[in-house]
């Protein structure tokens, strides 16, 4: 009986498929060229775009703001929609290495939209790092008129009214101020319905980036934006707070229980703040931190294996049919080792979050910075890892996608 039922099912399926084919034939004599929904999704969220630098503004302490229009030769014809706080990842080919770097967008989303009277633009603000491989390259090569390949805007570091409280407590250090420059402009110009208390840590008053811009924004904000500069090395004449951004300073200006916390700054600031935030008894969902970029001082994590420090290991890499052997230093991510060897591997956030570099770890051990472990549980069980946030602890064998 069961067998008969099975064949009945197959016969039934055959009949349904036939009817379906006939219906498709009848309904559309012309071939559909492309799925319009997919096409629209691709237009709104393209994998990459070509941007042209149209303006470069020099700021203090060796920082520059680069303004981009979409290049005429770009297949994408407009800047995809984004939220204040998101980043763009730029692609570089330097010598034999292919690499990427994510930078927060410092301009506001409305400035990239159709309603902008000027041509819509997007800006990033970059600080030149001493002996910074990429920033030195940018300073030498990015000129007005240069065309740069970039990803669409990405990242989870943005205000979401359904998830977040009305007030943003923004905590920034150094160039970590840039995403808040974007968010604050949205708030003050009435495009984002929220308030912001901005705590900005700098060494000296002269180091405060976007000082005048934030003063002007605060004045225009009708109480929606309050900027609290916290200076670690300034003398007592400065109007603001001195020292570091502590829980006491945050409590003094904020309603802790009714605020969402957004943190962006150097890794040393996260370490300091993690203790301060414990004092505030925040719920996990109240805190969001931007960590784009690799961990540079991985040896400073207490659970990093002492015996692996300073060592170099063999990395066997399988890409399609090819196998390549290379060396990887335990203080550098596996992604960096691949890039140094000229192996092209997709990457955007470089901090374990976006999943674009997802690969297989076939053999050996890696150290994964736990705060930057953005893998799904199933991926961990199946042996997937993110080379951008993983550091070799032994000889390893990996498999990466082919591009
Ligand atoms: S580049 Fe985003 S997870 Fe590795």
User: What CATH homologous superfamily does 299-400 map to?
Assistant: Beta-grasp domain (3.10.20.30)
pLDDT, tens digit (0-9, with 9 covering 90-100), for 94-129: 988 899 999 999 999 999 976 555 678 999 999 988
Q: If you measure from the C-alpha of residue 8 to the centroid of ligand 1, how many angstroms do you get, rounded to a whole number? A: 50
pLDDT, tens digit (0-9, with 9 covering 90-100), for 177-202: 999 999 999 999 999 999 999 999 99
Q: Which of 357, 368, 379 maximizes ligand 1 atoms within 8 Å of its Cβ, making it the mutation to test the pocket?
A: 357
- The mean pLDDT of 301-315, rounded to a whole number, is 95
What topology is assigned to 41-151 in CATH? Elongation Factor Tu (Ef-tu); domain 3 (2.40.30)
349 Cα nearest atom in ligand 1: 2
- Which sequence spans correspond to the domains of the chain? 41-151, 167-290, 299-400
pLDDT, tens digit (0-9, with 9 covering 90-100), for 278-298: 999 999 889 998 876 778 789
Q: Range with the lowest mean pLDDT among 4-8, 9-13, 142-146, 259-263?
A: 4-8
> What's the per-residue H, E or C state across the chain?
CHHHHHHHHHHHHHHHHHHHHHHHHHHCCCCCCCCHHHHHHHHHCCCEEEEEEEEEEECCCCEEEEEEEECCCCCCCCCCCCCCCCEEEEEEEECCEEEEEEEEECCCHHHHCCCCCCCCCEEEEEECCCCCHHHHHHHHHCCCCCEEEEECCECCCCCCCCCCCCEEEEEEEHHHHHHHHHHHHHHHCCCCCCEEEEEEEECCHHHCCCHHHHHHHHHHCCCCEEEEEEECCCCCCCCCEECCCCHHHHHHHCCHHHEEEEEECCHHHHHHHHHHHHHCCCCHHHEEEECCCCCCCHHHCCCCCHHHCCCEEEEEEEECCEEEEEEEECCCCHHHHHHHCCCCCCCCCCCCCCCCCCEEEEECCEEECHHHCCCCHHHHHHCEECHHHEEECCCEEEEECCC
Domain spanning 167-290 has what CATH number?
Answer: 3.40.50.80
* Whole-number average pLDDT of the chain: 88
Q: Which of 347, 391, 400 maximizes ligand 1 atoms within 8 Å of its Cβ, making it the mutation to test the pocket?
A: 347
User: Quick check: 61 pLDDT over 80?
Assistant: no
User: Quick check: 317 pLDDT over 60?
Assistant: yes
Report whether residue 181 contacts ligand 1, using a CB cutoff of 6 Å: no
Per-residue model confidence (pLDDT) at position 397: 97
> pLDDT class for 23, splitting at 50, 70, 90?
low
Q: Which of 98, 293, 348 maximizes ligand 1 atoms within 8 Å of its Cβ, making it the mutation to test the pocket?
A: 348
Per-residue model confidence (pLDDT) at position 2: 45
Q: If you measure from the C-alpha of residue 79 to the centroid of ligand 1, how many angstroms do you get, rounded to a whole number? A: 22
Report whether residue 347 contacts ligand 1, using a CB cutoff of 6 Å: yes
Report whether residue 113 contacts ligand 1, using a CB cutoff of 6 Å: no
pLDDT, tens digit (0-9, with 9 covering 90-100), for 229-273: 999 887 656 778 989 999 999 999 999 999 999 999 988 888 888
Report whether residue 338 contacts ligand 1, using a CB cutoff of 6 Å: no
Decide whether 41-151 matches 299-400 in CATH topology: no
């Amino acid at each position: 009986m069961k067998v008969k039922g099975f064949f009945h099912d197959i016969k039934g399926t055959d009949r349904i498929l036939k009817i379906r084919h006939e219906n498709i034939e009848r309904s559309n004599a012309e071939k559909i060229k492309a799925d319009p929904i997919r096409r629209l999704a691709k237009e709104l969220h393209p994998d990459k775009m070509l941007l042209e630098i149209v303006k470069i503004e020099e700021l203090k302490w060796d920082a520059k703001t680069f303004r981009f229009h979409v290049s005429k030769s770009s297949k994408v014809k407009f800047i995809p929609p984004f939220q204040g706080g998101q980043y763009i990842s730029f692609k570089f080919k330097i010598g034999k290495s292919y690499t990427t770097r994510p930078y927060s967008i410092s301009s506001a989303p409305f400035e990239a939209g159709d309603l902008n009277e000027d041509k819509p633009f997007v800006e990033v603000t970059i600080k030149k790092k001493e002996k910074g491989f990429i920033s030195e390259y940018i300073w030498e090569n990015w000129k007005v008129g240069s065309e740069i390949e970039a990803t669409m805007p990405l990242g989870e570091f943005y205000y979401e009214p359904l998830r977040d409280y009305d007030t943003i407590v923004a905590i920034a250090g150094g160039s970590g101020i840039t995403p808040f420059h974007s968010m604050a402009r949205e708030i003050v110009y009435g495009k984002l319905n929220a308030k912001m208390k901005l705590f900005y840590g700098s060494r000296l008053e002269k180091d405060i980036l976007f000082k005048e811009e934030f003063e002007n924004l605060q004045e225009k904000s009708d109480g929606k934006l309050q900027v609290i500069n916290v200076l670690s090395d300034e003398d007592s004449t400065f109007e603001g707070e001195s020292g570091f951004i502590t829980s006491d300073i945050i409590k003094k200006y904020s309603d802790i229980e009714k605020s969402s916390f957004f943190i962006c700054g150097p890794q040393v600031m996260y370490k300091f703040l993690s203790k301060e935030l414990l004092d505030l008894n925040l719920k996990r969902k109240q805190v969001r931190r931007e960590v784009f970029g690799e961990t540079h001082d991985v040896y400073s994590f207490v659970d990093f294996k002492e015996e692996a420090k300073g060592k170099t290991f063999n990395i066997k890499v399988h890409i399609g049919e090819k196998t390549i052997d290379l060396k990887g230093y335990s203080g550098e991510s596996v992604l960096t080792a691949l890039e140094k060897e000229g192996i092209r591997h997709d990457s955007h956030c470089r901090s374990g979050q976006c999943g674009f570099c997802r690969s297989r770890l076939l053999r050996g051990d890696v150290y994964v910075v736990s705060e930057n472990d953005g893998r799904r549980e199933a991926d961990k069980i199946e042996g997937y890892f993110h080379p951008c946030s993983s550091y070799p602890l032994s000889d390893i064998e990996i498999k990466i996608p082919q591009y």
